[in-house]
Amino acid sequence: MGATLTCPRGVWLRGVAPRGRRSGRDAGYGSLVITPEQVDIPATAFPVEQFRLPNGLRVVLSPDRGVPVVGVAVVYDVGIRLEPQGRSGFAHLFEHMMFQGSANVAKLEHMSYVQGSGGTLNGSTHLDYTDYYEMLPSNALERALFLEADRMRGPAITEENLANQIDVVKEEIRVNVLNRPYGGFPWLKLPPVMFDTFPNNHDGYGSFEDLEAATLEDAQTFFDTYYAAGNAVLSVAGDFDVAEATAMIERHFGDVPAREAPVHPGIGEPDLTAERRASYTDPRAPLPAIAAAWRVPDPVRDLGGYLPYVVLAELLTDGDASRLVERLIQRDRSATSLSGYLGFMGEPFAVRDPTALVLQAHLPPGGDVDRLLATVDEEVARIASDGLAEGELARVKARIALHLLHEDDSVINRVLRLATSAALHGDARVARELPRRLGEVTAEQVVEAASRLVPHRRAAIEVIAGGAA
């Protein structure tokens, strides 16, 4: 099964490569007419309906009859940061367990039913949530709803399934982290430098020791605690009739036992007051690398204070005209690649506090990490002192708008963005408002954000290359 633990994303929610590596020439999403002073970005127009079933399940519906496909997503409000201490990697392990069958669906049948209908499916584990999703022809909607409801009632938690999925996850760690150049960089390597508490600094893939110690009781307790209907969001987007879909949802999910959502524990930490640095040697890495991060405002409770940092990351690293690409790659040649993004897993709008603005770069052989960080400090300080160039903010916001609107063209991206917005923000409509709210970010807010990216608030992790050039 293709269940995964995600790594940093490239585009706004569902990309594949760290942001900042595409040039201005290949964005290719169309054009916006902008003035040097501003760009008007409307809220997206797709409809959103929300309601809650008596068992606590939150439901989001977004019909779009333009294309005969439908996306279904179930998001559970639990991720890496809520897994038990001593059971690192358990949220991801349990995600795998959800694909091992349920009361009325044998192992592998969920996958065969979806693919046999011409659809695709997957699931992924994140810092603050876990998702499961299908995209199918619209006439297969009820099939997807039945399958998701059946495993919401209870997956097949058995000794055999637990043992084989522990082995699968261990192999995934070998492939994606232990035997890959830059494995876990920076999303697994940087949080332990920046944070002090287990929820925020532990390895989300898990140690082999913790995975092997997992028990059936652990799995059942995790399911009973976090996989309650009241702790989940069901989202449906695409080609469907609202009344018919509502009747299907009530038919299949209405008798899922009612269990309330657990109270989310506080996982906040104080900001840094002194720079933290660490390094490690990667025997497979051909080039040195560095990643640095600064804390940013709470993206849920202070979205208005958070969005200027999203714009700032774009301004610094995205495209040939961005500040740091122009300076570090084109002029100084002190970096060979550069990325900037919000959140350690690169998903700026689907994460809770504490989180960070992350910059990462690969350097040429013999590159000087201290010199590169000093250049970053210099360029950020120049924004804080001199402000933005004429037209710079409008250009950056236009690029952001193109990325977001292009992403929302995809049914699966839309259904996931709506579900995560409902789970984390309490309102799916937040997803629809993101383009407009980003368009309202002012130059003064971006300058203020830049003034906060100072060395004493920074955590950094250096990769010392140990592989062949």
**Where does 82-198 show beta strands of DSSP type E?**
120-125, 130-137
Q: Reduced to 3 states, what is the DSSP secondary structure of residue 400?
A: helix
In the chain, the domains with their CATH numbers are: 49-253 (3.30.830.10), 271-465 (3.30.830.10)
For the sheet with 356-362, list strands across it: 276-282, 458-465, 289-295, 356-362, 337-342
Averages of pLDDT over runs of 10 residues in the chain (469 residues) are 47 29 28 49 85 98 94 98 96 98 96 96 97 98 98 97 97 96 97 98 97 97 97 98 98 95 92 98 97 98 97 94 95 96 94 97 96 98 96 91 86 96 97 92 97 98 82
> Tokens at residue 221, please?
């307790």
Q: Give residues with Cβ within 8 angstroms of 353, minimum separation 6.
A: 268, 297, 298, 299, 300, 301
Contact (CB, 8 A) for 180 and 287: no
Q: What is the pLDDT of residue 41?
A: 77
Q: What is the pLDDT of residue 467?
A: 65
Q: What is the pLDDT of residue 27?
A: 27
> Tokens at residue 317, please?
């690293």
- Nearest Cα residue to 13 out of 459, 434, 467: 434
The rounded distance, in Å, linking the Cα atoms of 204 and 41 is 36
**How far is the CA of 353 from the CAs of 271, 438, 453, in angstroms?**
11, 19, 17
The rounded distance, in Å, linking the Cα atoms of 423 and 392 is 34
> Tokens at residue 448, please?
């203020």
**How far is the CA of 171 from the CAs of 91, 167, 168, 350, in angstroms?**
16, 6, 5, 27
The rounded distance, in Å, linking the Cα atoms of 109 and 106 is 5
Q: How many CB atoms lie within 10 A of CB 55?
A: 18
The rounded distance, in Å, linking the Cα atoms of 206 and 91 is 9
The rounded distance, in Å, linking the Cα atoms of 212 and 190 is 25
Q: What is the pLDDT of residue 6?
A: 53
The conformational region for residue 370 under phi > 0 = left, psi -120 to 50 = alpha, else beta, is alpha
Element (H, E) at 96: helix 90-97
Q: Give residues with Cβ within 8 angstroms of 444, minimum separation 6.
A: none
- Nearest Cα residue to 319 out of 408, 435, 399, 404: 399
> Tokens at residue 247, please?
């009747």
Q: What is the pLDDT of residue 3?
A: 52
**How far is the CA of 55 from the CAs of 59, 222, 446, in angstroms?**
11, 19, 43
Q: What is the DSSP-derived secondary structure letter of residue 76?
A: E
Contact (CB, 8 A) for 79 and 129: yes
DSSP per-residue letters across 210-260: HHHT--HHHHHHHHHHHS-GGGEEEEEEES--HHHHHHHHHHHHTTSPP-P
Q: What is the pLDDT of residue 5?
A: 62
Q: What is the pLDDT of residue 469?
A: 45
Query: What is the sign, positive or negative, of the torsion defined by CA atoms of 446, 448, 449, 450?
Result: positive
CA atoms within 13 A on the CB side of 437: 17
**How far is the CA of 267 from the CAs of 23, 81, 86, 202, 352, in angstroms?**
37, 8, 17, 13, 9
**How far is the CA of 308 from the CAs of 327, 342, 444, in angstroms?**
22, 11, 9
- Nearest Cα residue to 413 out of 54, 39, 28, 69: 69
Q: What is the pLDDT of residue 33?
A: 40
